């Protein structure tokens, strides 16, 4: 796990200035505090910050070259099946100077080119320069666990693990991309391959980018392929889940430094601990974070229960409102784009505490996307059932009654009047009515042109004809998972120089899920049905079947009390109002109603706060 950055002036063949590359790497030095390296070849430059995990010897420093210096790689991540791949390469007479996974990728690319991506099991973003053929290659892992950003300049391309590296290049402008403001206000992050910085892009998961003879080509090398033509029966899917999970955890335990587990006490992280115990891992270290704001924000009793069951060395960290406020400026800087994932701040403090004992940590991230674990799925299934009532009864008679029953019911009434491609935009979607009331008249016109519905349409097009559960989960894998959860996990763990691994996002799980009939992922309104059945016998029912809590943050409470003044001074001021996005009187109303306890507006207040702080940090 590291940080990478680079420049390729393929348009002008202008020699790269070392000052530029070193500045790009320095700004992300926390991603790799154990070492750094640079490679220059006239118009090409690659930079690396190293966090040593596999083969801690200096011989594995990067950028790394083949012995003949024809190929050079700059790589961030872990390829877990490097042991097996190396054995295959040795049988084909490849030579190795290190025991790192980096050299395995380099030798595999030398042999197979872009086709090597099909063999890699892991999380990765890397660049390879082929000096002989003058070919430049970028790639990102199938799921998007590791980030990779790029932008085109007058000279060529600039890329990096984080956007802030790109912003170190003088010619890269810091301009707002208006096409994504409505998306951000709809879901709390920026979906699609664009970013909120105009002209800066994400290399999408499962894609590669090649530059040869001045031509740029982006290719998709992987996606989920849905084929549910065969129902192999419940027992098959249970057994296959156990088999895949055991192997995923087993290969992700490969490390030359100490490792542990983020343990919330929910089924996903508890399952990781249980499987590590089954694999006879000694001295398992587990780590939890919580808020001291009552049971709704504290799962430590369940984490302790799992810790006691498996005899782990357990550490807890309790958050305060001061912790939250103090880290907010750093949170905005680390995230690069505005993301309203409040739990990320708790994750940072947890990662910082964890780093005191280990350098690698496993988590349960991704199980909800693979096995259908979010409560919102239940509600959307209810809405779809409600839609079966004829429109001439539902719209003029029932929906007006629902709207009189309160905000939650009004939301479902609104959803029932739209197709799924417009009503469901992700796990964290915000209702259009409340959002649109905020927009100024001028900005409303822009939002209509660049609506979030249009941005996510390609994902619904891909699953056209599939069942409701499949459509929702695919959208969440491609947007919510990548642009919220995984970017949060990467940024907050790397801010603490900690490597985070996610066994449930082994690509084999996603391929398996894509062939599993939806009734096994979501059966009788029981989320993650097959996963729960697979873990029976490993974990008690109290862990398996309790209500999902997640990683909540007491924003509502803090925004009424300790942080109210801070929030109001940021979002209700002339500087914020002059941006022209939101009506000043509507912002004042939201603050006043929340303070008085008339309505809980913490979510929209948090969105406004993060967006304004982002503008001040990066645009102003």
DSSP per residue, 439-490: B-HHHHHHHHHT-HHHHHHHHHHHTTTS-HHHHHHHHHHHTHIIIIIIHHHH
Cα 342 versus chain centre, distance: 14
DSSP per residue, 500-532: EE-GGG-HHHHHHHHHS-HHHHSBTTBTTHHHH
Is the separation of the CB atoms in 430 and 604 below 8 Å?
A: yes
The pair of structure tokens assigned to 618 is 């990066």
DSSP three-state, residue 138 = strand
> Among the options 2, 25, 74, 116, which is catalytic?
2
Side-chain-side CA neighbours of 271 within 13 Å: the count stands at 28
DSSP state of 383: H
The pair of structure tokens assigned to 301 is 């009793």
33 has which bridge partners?
50
- The string over 374-401, giving b where at least 16 C-beta atoms fall within 10 Å of a residue's C-beta and e elsewhere, is beebeebeebbebbeeeeeebeeeebee
DSSP state of 3: E
What is the rounded distance in angstroms from the CA atom of residue 358 to the CA atom of residue 375? 33
What is the rounded distance in angstroms from the CA atom of residue 616 to the CA atom of residue 542? 46
212 has which bridge partners?
135, 215
Is the separation of the CB atoms in 278 and 538 below 8 Å?
A: yes
Known active-site residue 2: yes
What is the rounded distance in angstroms from the CA atom of residue 101 to the CA atom of residue 85? 9
DSSP state of 398: I
The pair of structure tokens assigned to 390 is 């004829």
Angle at 581 between CA 575 and CA 585, to 5 degrees: 75
Residues that are catalytic: 2
């Amino acid at each position: 796990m590291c940080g990478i950055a680079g420049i390729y002036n393929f348009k002008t063949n202008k020699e790269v200035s070392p000052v530029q590359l070193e500045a790009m790497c320095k700004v992300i030095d926390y991603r790799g505090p154990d070492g750094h390296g640079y490679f220059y070849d006239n118009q090409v430059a690659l930079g690396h910050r190293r966090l040593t995990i596999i083969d801690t010897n200096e011989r594995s420093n990067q950028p790394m070259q083949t012995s003949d210096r024809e190929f050079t790689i700059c790589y961030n991540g872990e390829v877990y099946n490097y042991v097996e791949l190396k054995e295959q390469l040795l049988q084909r007479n490849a030579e190795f100077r290190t025991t790192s996974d980096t050299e395995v990728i380099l030798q595999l690319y030398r042999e197979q080119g872009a086709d090597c991506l099909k063999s890699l099991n892991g999380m990765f973003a890397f660049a390879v320069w082929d000096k002989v053929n003058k070919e430049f290659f970028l790639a990102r892992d199938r799921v998007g666990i590791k980030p990779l950003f790029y932008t085109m300049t007058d000279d060529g391309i600039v890329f990096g693990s984080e956007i802030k590296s790109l912003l170190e290049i003088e010619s890269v402008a810091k301009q707002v991309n208006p096409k994504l403001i409505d998306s951000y206000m709809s879901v709390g992050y920026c979906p699609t391959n664009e970013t909120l910085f105009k002209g800066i892009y994400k290399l999408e998961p499962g894609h590669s980018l090649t530059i040869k003879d001045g031509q740029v080509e982006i290719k998709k090398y992987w996606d989920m392929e849905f084929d549910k033509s065969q129902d192999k029966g419940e027992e098959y899917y249970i057994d296959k889940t156990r088999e895949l999970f055991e192997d995923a955890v087993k290969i992700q335990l490969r490390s030359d430094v100490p490792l542990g587990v983020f343990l919330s006490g929910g089924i996903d992280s508890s399952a990781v601990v249980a499987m590590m115990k089954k694999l006879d891992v000694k001295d398992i270290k587990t780590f939890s974070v919580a808020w001291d704001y009552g049971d709704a924000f504290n799962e430590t009793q369940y984490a302790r229960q799992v810790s006691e069951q498996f005899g782990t060395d357990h550490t807890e960290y309790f958050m305060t409102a001061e912790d939250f406020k103090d880290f907010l400026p750093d949170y905005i800087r680390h995230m690069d784009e505005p993301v309203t994932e409040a739990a990320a701040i708790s994750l940072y403090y947890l990662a910082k505490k964890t780093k005191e004992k280990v350098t690698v940590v496993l988590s349960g991230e991704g199980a909800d996307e693979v096995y259908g674990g979010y409560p919102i799925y239940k509600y959307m299934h209810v809405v779809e059932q409600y839609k079966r009532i004829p429109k001439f009864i539902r719209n003029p008679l029932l929906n007006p009654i629902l709207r009189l029953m309160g905000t939650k019911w009004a939301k479902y009434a609104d959803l029932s009047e739209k197709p799924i491609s417009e009503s469901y935009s992700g796990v964290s979607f915000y209702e259009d009515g409340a959002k649109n009331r905020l927009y100024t008249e001028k900005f409303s016109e822009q939002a209509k042109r660049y609506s979030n519905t249009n941005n996510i349409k390609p994902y619904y097009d891909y699953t056209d004809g599939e069942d409701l559960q499949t459509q929702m989960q695919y959208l969440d894998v491609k947007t919510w998972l990548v642009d919220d959860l995984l970017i949060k996990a990467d940024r907050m763990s790397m801010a603490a120089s900690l490597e985070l691994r996610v066994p449930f996002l082994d690509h084999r799980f996603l391929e398996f899920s894509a062939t599993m009939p939806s009734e096994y992922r979501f059966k009788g309104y029981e989320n993650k049905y097959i996963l729960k059945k697979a873990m029976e016998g490993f974990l008690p029912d109290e862990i398996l079947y309790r209500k999902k809590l997640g990683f909540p943050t007491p924003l509502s409470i803090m925004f009424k009390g300790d942080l109210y003044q801070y929030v109001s001074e940021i979002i209700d001021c002339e500087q914020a109002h002059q941006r022209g996005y939101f009506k000043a009187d509507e912002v004042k109303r939201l603050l006043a109603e929340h303070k008085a306890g008339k309505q809980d507006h913490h979510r929209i207040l948090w969105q406004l706060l993060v967006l304004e702080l982002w503008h001040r940090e990066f645009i102003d």
